[in-house]
Structure 1
Amino acid sequence: MVDDAADRATDTFVAHRNLLFTVAYEMLGSAADAEDVLQETWLRWSEVDLAEVRDQRAYLIRITTRQALNRLRTMKRRKEAYVGPWLPEPLVTASDVAQDAELADSVSMALMLVLETLSPTERAVFVLREAFDVSYEEIADAVDKSPGAVRQIAHRARKHIDARRPRQAVSPRETRAALDSFRRALLTGDIQAMLDVLAPEVVLLSDGGGVKQAARRPIIGADKVARFIVGGSGKFEAEITDEATMVNGSPALLVRLDGENDGIMAIHVEDARITGIYYIRNPEKLTRVTRETPLTLR
C-alpha cells in the first residue's frame, strides 16, 4: 500500500510538472530557481496523505506558490547586488507556444520584466489569477490571505501591470520580419537601416551579470541604441554569427562568437518597429539555450 501511494504521488507530480514549472518560472523569472522550487515541492508532496487531498492540481500549485514566494524574497537580495540590469532567464520554447497567445504573452520578456516591478505577493496573485485562472479562494490558501484581500491585491496588481505592459501584441510573423531587418542591419553595420526598424523610444537592456561586458544602464532612443549596437559589434575580433530561435514564445536570435554561444537577443515589436531589445549574456542564464523547455498553463 505504501508503494502504491508513492507511485500515485509520483504519477500525479509528473503529470503536472510542466504546469508547476511554468508557475514557478513566471513567479521567479529564473529557470534554475524554478527547478529548485520543484524539488522542494516534490519533497513536500511526497509526504502528503493523498486521501486527504480533494484537488491534487490545486494542492500542488499551492505548494509551488509558497515555495516560490520564499525563493522570491531571497532573490530580492541577489538582485539588489546584481551588476547592471537583471533580465529574466531566457527559455527556448517550441513553436506551438507562439500559437498559444495567452501562454506566449504570459512568458514574454516584456511582461516578465513588468512583473519584476510587483511585490512578491502581488506577483504571485497576478500570475495565478491572470495566467492560470486560479480561484481567489485557492490563491488565498496559497498566499495566506483572505479571499477579500486577494481580490484587492489582484485589482491593484492588474492596474499596475496594465499601466506598464506593452500596448499591443503582434504575431510571430511580424516579430520575425522586424528581427530579420534588424539582423541584416547589424551584420552589414548599416546604421540607417537599423534606425528604420527601431522605434524612436526603443529601450535596450543588456544583462552580463558582471561576468560578460554589457551596458550597466538602459540605453534609450533609436540613435543611441543603433550606435551602441553597431559600434559594439565592431569591437569584437571574433566572428559573429547568429541562429534564429524561439525564446519565451517569440522569435529571437542565439548569438555566437567564433561558434561559441554568447547570448540571446530577444525583442518586442509594436507597429512593425522594435520598441524593446533584451540581450542576455550572463553565462549562468544561458544553460537552456540549446534545448526546448516545455511550458503550459493547463
Structure 2
Amino acid sequence: MSHAQTITLYRPLLHAIAYNMVRCKQDAEDIVQDTFLKWLSVEQSRIQNTKAYLIRSVTNSCINHLNSLKKKKEAYLEDWSEMVNKWKDTDFLSPDLDAKLQAALSTIHHKLEPLERALYVLKEGFNVDYEALQETFGKKQEHCRQIISRARKKLNDEAVRLKAEMPDSSQFIDNFKKACDFGHVSHLIQEFKKEISDKK
C-alpha cells in the first residue's frame, strides 16, 4: 500500500482518536498531520504494524499536547493575586506581559460563567471583600464564597476545554488594565454587570 493510500485509510481513525482526546478540531487536525509527517520520516522497514504505530504516535502526541496546555494554564493561573500585583507595578507596553495578561483572562473568560468570573477576578485579583461583593451583585456573602470556590474548581478542571480566543475582549482588557494602573475598579465592575445582564 502506498503512502497516499495509507494516509487516506487511517486519517479518519486518527482524527477521531485525536479529537476525542483534545476536543478541539484544529488541534486534532494538526496532531494528525504531524503524526503522518513523523511517520513519513521514519524508515518504513522498521515499522512492523503501521496502524498500531500511527495510533500510538497520535495518542502520545495528544497526551503531550494536553500536558503542555495544563502547564500553560497553571502558569497563567498560578497565584492570581501575585500576577495582578505584578501587572499593577509593570508597564503594560511589555508585549510579553500583555500576552500573558490576555492568555490568563482568556482562560478565565472561557471557563467561568459571567458571575463566577466577576466574583473570582474581583476577589482574587483586587481583594474586594465579601461585603462589597454582596452589595455590588446582590448575592449573600456565603453564596459569593461558594461561587468563588466553584470557580477555582472549574479553573483546575481539565474537562472544561479552552476556546481558541476571547471574543470582544478589548474593552474588558482595557478596563482590567485601568483597574490595575489607576484603581478604577468601578469600570471593571460595570463590565462584569453588563456581561451578567446579557447572559440572562
Give TM-score scaled by structure 1 length: 0.28
Greater share of residues in helix: 2
**Larger RCO: 1 or 2 (CA < 8 Å, sep 6+):** 1
Rg larger in 1 or in 2?
Answer: 2
